[in-house]
Structure formats: C-alpha cells, structure tokens
C-alpha cells in the first residue's frame, strides 16, 4: 500500500457507496459474487448490458493504495467476472478498465475495475463506454444509462449462476 498522498485530485463521495455495500448498508442486490477480499457488483449504469465492477472490500481510493495481495485478488475476480460474462452473454469481446483521479473520470473514490461485455454493434464505440458517452456523437449523445432496480436484479440473476467459486 502506498504511504504517499494521491498525486492528483480525487473525487469526493461521502459516504462511500462501495463501503456501504461492503458494510451491508448499501444496495446488496447489486452484489453478483464476493470473496473475503473482493466484490463483483452490477454497475447500475449499464452502458453495455452486463457491465460489472470489481472492488476491494477495504476502502482504497486508487490503485496506488492497494496492497499486493488485494491487487492479485482483484485481478483474479476480474478474470472470473470476464468468464461469467462470456458464458452469460457470448460477447464479441471484453473491455476491462480502471480510472484514477478526477482527470481520468473516476467518480467514486474507491478503487474499482470495470468489466464490460462488448459487441461489434455497440453504439458506444470500441473504447471504454463512459468515455464515448462524453464525446459528441450521434447528435451529442451524453446520457448515462442507469437501469431500474428491477432491471438490475434481472440482469444480475442471469449472471450469478455463471460465476465459479474461488
């Protein structure tokens, strides 16, 4: 874990929504899979149907704050999440990305990796979907696709059975 102060501006969000989920006070229906070190969550912003977030249980604002053990466990969970998304959606590809600091468009000050099933026909292009949402395209398309709680649970319920136990 880094003992240095973040070299860039970090977003603020109090209380941390991921810490709330870890503590059992947040939206638990978004939890797809968990281990003693990580959680795989359904992103309520479904730029692509099935988009997941992998977070450490311990609050770590950015990649420089992770322990080596946490970093390894997160990568394992990302791989397992990707496998589950392939089994569930048979996508054309998987995009994995992570942002650190406001300048990189990090919104929640808790390290998280996005795992996104992608289709060649995607309206979001081939890069990280949140970047495409900010680029003028098709008349200035900039909305964030937030699904209802009911739709989120429906998506989560079809992904959960495809997670293997680690």
pLDDT digit string, tens, across residues 33-66? 999 999 999 988 888 899 999 999 999 999 999 9
Phi first, then psi: what are they for 132, rounded to 5°?
A: -60, -35
pTM score, whole prediction: 0.84
Cβ atoms of 124 and 132 within 8 Å: the answer is yes
Fold of the 17-159 domain: HIT family, subunit A (3.30.428)
Q: What is the pLDDT of residues 120-133, one digit of tens each?
A: 887 766 555 555 55
Domain boundaries, the chain: 17-159
């Amino acid at each position: 874990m880094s003992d240095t102060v973040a070299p860039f501006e970090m977003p603020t969000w109090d209380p941390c929504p991921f810490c709330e989920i870890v503590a059992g006070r947040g939206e638990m229906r978004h939890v797809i899979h968990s281990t003693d070190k990580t959680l795989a969550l359904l992103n309520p912003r479904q730029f692509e149907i099935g988009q997941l977030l992998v977070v450490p249980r311990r609050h770590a604002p950015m990649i420089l704050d992770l322990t080596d053990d946490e970093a390894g466990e997160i990568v394992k969970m990302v791989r397992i999440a990707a496998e589950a998304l392939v089994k569930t959606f048979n996508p054309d590809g998987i995009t994995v990305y992570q942002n650190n600091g406001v300048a990189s468009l990090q919104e929640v000050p808790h390290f998280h990796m996005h795992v996104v099933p992608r289709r060649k026909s995607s309206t979001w292009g081939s890069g990280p979907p949140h970047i495409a949402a900010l680029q003028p395209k098709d008349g200035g398309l900039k909305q964030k696709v937030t699904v209802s709680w009911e739709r989120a649970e429906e998506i989560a319920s079809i992904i959960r059975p495809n997670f293997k136990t680690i």
